[in-house]
Copies of this chain bind each other. A is one copy, B any other.
């Protein structure tokens, strides 16, 4: 019975025509999600993995290449393959697209203004695919680049995935790293939607600018490596000295 269930799973429509190395990659990713290996930990050798999964070493190598391309694992030449860890710097450079004009990427600081457990408003429910009963933690932060306030953030986290995070007194600047180390939530990708808005009176006060100044309004939905929506955030960004940078290829 259990064997026929397995057969069924492998022959199901979503796996049709999926090459073996992709199936192996999926499986390794699942083991990482389930914490068989911790972030930063070295995976067994290709030889051992091939032996365990009963596939060729070439197939394991192709699976690891796929997982490297999607940044789930990291290879260190001559050492081995490691479960990727969001170091503070890493995640910032990868997911923080605001840059000071005429300068390269820099590490912004963050000032936490408030944290509270709330019922999600409708836009947050839609963004995170949750209901009004699913509580969220709301964080407000102010980001600092070049000794100037550049951005106001309102961040919503499903309380179920981040239990009691609103009680923590040690929330660091580098949230994505913190999500991974303290809540086993690894950011995999973000989807930003960008609009132009006018600064409200309260935006202006918080950022030390004039009301009516044009700002970028970036709404971001963040997905974890297990495909769950783990964060929604709304950021209002000054662009008088900053710009949002995107490369497409």
Contact = CB atoms under 8 A, between A and B. Distances in A.
Interface of A: 69-71, 94-95, 97, 188-198, 214-216, 237, 239, 243-249
A234 to B, nearest CB: 13
B189 A248 contact: yes
A249 B97 contact: no
A214 B189 contact: no
B196 A215 contact: yes
A247 B190 contact: yes
Q: Chain A interface secondary structure, helix, strand, loop or mixed? A: strand
A248 B196 contact: no
A246 B194 contact: yes
Contact of A194 (B71, B189, B193, B244): B244
B246 A191 contact: yes
A191 B243 contact: no
A103 to B, nearest CB: 12
A194 B243 CA distance: 5
A196 B196 contact: yes
B71 A249 contact: yes
7 contacts: A190-B247, A190-B249, A191-B247, A194-B245, A196-B237, A214-B214, A214-B215
Given A70-B249, A94-B248, A194-B216, 14 more contacts: A69-B69, A97-B248, A189-B248, A189-B249, A191-B247, A192-B248, A193-B246, A194-B243, A194-B244, A195-B244, A196-B196, A196-B197, A196-B215, A197-B214
